[in-house]
Chains A and B, each alone.
Chain A
Amino acid sequence: MVAKWIETLTGSLEQKKQYKQDKARIDGLPEPYATAAKAMHRYFMYFGGITDGDTLMTMFGDLADLWERAAVDGTPIRDIVGDDPVEFAETFAQAYTGKQWIDKERARLTKAIEDAEREERK
């Protein structure tokens, strides 16, 4: 009960815990995987545009999975990110774009065009 009250003030504590755990997994990777994973993590903070906490947590968890596996298998960095790391990061992030701020704008644009179309028919 108290936890619930605190969470209304601070946001989900469970999510914060999860975030810290995933961040620790990324920070704990051996080099050069830690550098690559941290760079992607940073990029997601700018690019992601995902406002939904749960989705963001899933994404960061998967990011840690990806690089932990790569580190264990000794997969070369380039075999993960390809020639264009930006494209790779954006493709990766796009898988999670179920609930993005842009979705609201997309819905708005769609509606505006429909309204305009109705005007046209009058």
Chain B
Amino acid sequence: MNCNRAIVEAAIQAGCRFFTGYPFTPATECLEQASHRLPAAGGVYLQAEAEVSAINMLMGAAIAGFRCMTATSGAGFALMQEGVSHMAGIAEVPCVIVNVMRGGPGFGNLAPTQSDYRMATRGGGPGDYRCLVFGPATVQEAADLTKLAFALADRYRTPAIILSDQMLAETTEAFDLGDPLPEEPVEKWWATTGCKGREPIYMGRPGKNYGPEAEYLSGNLTLNLIGLARAGRDPDTFEAHMLRLAEKYHRIEAEEVRVETLYLDDAELAVVAFGTSARLIRPAIERARSEGLRVGLIRPITLWPFPSRLIADAAERVRDVLVVEMSMGQMVDDVRLAVNGRTPVHLFSTLGGVVPRPETVGREIRQILGLVTADSRA
């Protein structure tokens, strides 16, 4: 089974009961898989007329308390950003979004890239907000992280993004779906399912709190313009909301970083790469090690929260840092912030659907370690 389909299987095992999306290569197989597997699992599958509708359908499902997912790629992900921002920063509801990265900018091409790193980790929508972002490198890890994504999205009431790419998406390899994650059930007291037996809930506006006593911002500009608004635009209410959001993000940064390291203890050179590029350059690192070169790997698994602490610590010990990315250099900004000038940070990037090859990255490694000169073909 390929990665697109494995992710949907893992989602269903994790209790996903709503899937919507718009066909977008190379994410479309997620829709195909969901179209028959969701109904069989007692869930709802619905093809949306556009990504904008898909993300808002997802918002409706999420606010009604259901675990839900959509899958898309680059430009489709861009169309979803307003909805993602609203779900993360205003409604604060959980959902899982798969972005199978293909070539950008614009409609780009269909080949693998990692150039939506920034859109996923910074957000392309308005305002201050964050989403959990996972960067799987194998089908097995994609399945495992999908399950984790649902659990953490619920725990923190926030969208989680699985950042796959065309190469991983179409990789077919054996994986073990395993058991459902042991989870403490999260009580969704905020789910709008009808107020029978309790007070009404209003979800999707910023306020001091949710529930019957909620105080909401008044946006009636006409009343404001003609001077009739009463306690209308209350900045304190929104500030309190944003401060609570910031506190939540600090908690996530403190508790949810996941990262894999390889040969880092005695490394002189730390290579930082995620997802497919990390997988593809592993042989270069193994080969360098077999030649006695002290090279290590840092592979961020969560792209937000980013393993800044670990990279900062490593920067105290290594002589150089090399970032390998299938983009003009997006994650390298996070690495530079973490390294904070302690050591030089080099970038090896591939563009337009070209993937990093062990031979070329191996040459780059030897060059940085001073074993070959820049123009040597060795």
User: Are A and B interaction partners?
Assistant: no
B interface residues with partner A (beta carbon < 8 Å): none
